[in-house]
Amino acid sequence: MKQFILEVSYFTEEDLETSITFRPSDPEISDYLATSIIYKTYSEAVAAKDELLTVLTPRLFEIFQQMENIPLEIRNGYYLS
């Protein structure tokens, strides 16, 4: 079994707004699920990262486990620690 872990990426727009994106770190499932949040500045996005990981990891894992477009054997191959 593999641990369900979210990775974080940042993208800063020309107007300096920054989006922070959370997606599974495993390439096998990373294209199925992601969420992004936009902040006015990069520093705001970085400051929010840890709290968002705490909140979003179990929520996205729950959503992942219910996604019928992902085979059950793949979904059952992941756990949340």
Please provide the DSSP assignment of 26-77 as one string.
STTTTTT--EEEEESSHHHHHHHHHHHHHHHHHHHHHHHHH-TTS-HHHHTT
In sequence order, the β-bridge partners of residue 79 are 3
Model pTM score: 0.89
**Is residue 48 very low, low, confident or very high in pLDDT (cuts 50, 70, 90)?**
very high
In the prediction, which pLDDT does 35 show?
A: 96
- Average model confidence (pLDDT) for the chain? 96
In the prediction, which pLDDT does 12 show?
A: 95
